[in-house]
Amino acid sequence: MCGTERSSHSIACLSNGSRANLPVIDLDPGNPAVFEEYWRRMGDKCRVDIPGCDLMSYKAPTGNVCWFLLPELEEAIRRLHRAVGNAVVDERHLVVGTGSTQVFQAALYALSTPASHKPIHVVSAAPYYSSYPEETDFLCSRLYKWGGDAKEYDAEKSGAFIEVVNSPNNPDGCMRQSVVNASQGKLIHDFAYYWPQFTPINSPADHDLMYFTFSKCTGHAGSRIGWALVKDREVAVKMTKYIELNTLGVSKDSQFRTAKIIKLLCNDYQKIGLNSSNNFFEYGNRVMAKRWKNLRDVIGRSDVFSLPTFERQYCCFLGRPSRPYPAFAWLKCKEEIEDCGSFLRGYNIEGRHGKRFGADAKYLRISMLSSDDVFYDFLDRLSAIQTFQQ
């Protein structure tokens, strides 16, 4: 459940002259540098050595629908979901892609074919992930097109649709369900952030098409690995065909590295459980909890901003109650400020504008995943903003 937490007190304010000399703090992208310290501590445990003669073929030695999926990656992913308890993997086909972006495109292709006389609408409830509209319309496909806010979509009038359910939702961190109630709709569940460091794991997600991404699971965005768990074999075949025609498979080197890192997570959890600083998800949960506490402390001393609030819930993976600690802060400016992005840009703080998410300009998405130096510089600068100044 999401609410609104209003701020109260105030502190010293930055002068107009001092703002111009401040370096830009860019908290627009969600680059997960927050977990670098953990992986640096792991040292050579995740080192990968690949001889020149290995992984040379397009194909993987498997009989799977996804013919380029390495068996060791499939085994690692299924094992990970069973350990974390965030998704049903039995009787599901696994399709791997070059990050969740490609998996999303493959899903749109699979669910919109064969083509009808007009493109199928793709919708998501606002505030929706800012890249959905651009990714949907980028190819100007005759199969599908962006249809806007799912809460405003009239299925009886506009016909068939694909609804994207992002849960926990980027940007506001709320858990989501589908909102368009119509039999002619198809669903894609984006679970990029359904991991214990970001939100309590209540139960295994069980939907027809669910996708995840390695970048948000462990922070390894550069490996460009995403995957989908698909119930319908024909849909999985179509998704695989899209990826085949788009990139002729997915890098075996990246798959191999991903499999090794996931295997390390699962082995550590099996051997030592949660009671160790080496458990990645426990570590990540503590780091995110600390960042959110520090941010809320700063917001609590300001009369300019507010944040969503989240109820404490029991996390089946952690074995204890926990609050959600989203990867992004959905910052809202007070009523006198019409454009939160422009206001903070005056202090050389960059976020992602609320209108890109189908929301009001009073909102700004701020990444909670930056490196420590960037994040705590941001807090220092935010704490110096006392009041709104015309």
Residue 43 lies in a domain: no
Q: Is residue 388 part of a domain?
A: no
Residue at a domain's end among 209, 242, 270: 270
Asked if residue 90 and residue 213 are part of one domain, the reply reads: yes
Residues 234 and 353 in one domain: no
Tell whether the model's pLDDT for residue 5 goes beyond 70. Answer: no
Q: What is the pLDDT of residue 65?
A: 97
C-alpha 331/C-alpha 67 separation (Å) is 43
**Do 105 and 198 fall into the same domain?**
yes
Whether 16 has a pLDDT exceeding 90, the answer reads no
pLDDT digits (tens, 9 = 90+) for 151-179: 999 998 999 999 999 999 999 999 999 99
pLDDT at 186 over 60: yes
* Whether residues 249 and 144 fall in one domain: yes
CATH of the domain at 360: 3.90.1150.10
In the structure encoding, which two tokens stand for residue 225, read together? 């690995």
Q: Which of 179, 42, 206 is nearest to 191 (CA)?
A: 206
- Domain check: are 236 and 316 in the same one? no
Average pLDDT over residues 342-364: 97
Query: How many structural domains are present in the chain?
Result: 2
Both 298 and 316 in one domain: the answer is yes
Residue 171 covered by a domain: yes
Q: Does residue 282 sit in the same domain as residue 258? A: no
45 within domain boundaries: no
pLDDT confidence tier of residue 197, bands split at 50, 70 and 90: very high
How far, in Å, CA of 262 to CA of 315, rounded?
A: 21
Label residue 7 by pLDDT band (50, 70, 90): very low
In-domain check, residue 322? yes
Question: What domain range includes position 123?
Answer: 51-270
Average pLDDT score, the chain: 92
Cα–Cα distance list, 175 to 324, 334, 350, 376 (Å): 10, 25, 26, 27
Same-domain status, 96 and 181: yes
- Nearest by Cα to 171 from 344, 307, 298: 307
Query: Last residue of some domain: 219, 245, 270?
Result: 270
pLDDT confidence of 212, banded at 50, 70, 90? very high
The backbone torsions φ and ψ at residue 116, rounded to the nearest 5 degrees and listed phi first, read: -100, -175
Residue 140 and residue 264 in one domain: yes
- Any idea what the Cα angle at residue 200 is, between residues 278 and 317, rounded to 5°? 50
Q: Report the predicted TM-score, pTM, of the whole model to 2 decimal places.
A: 0.94
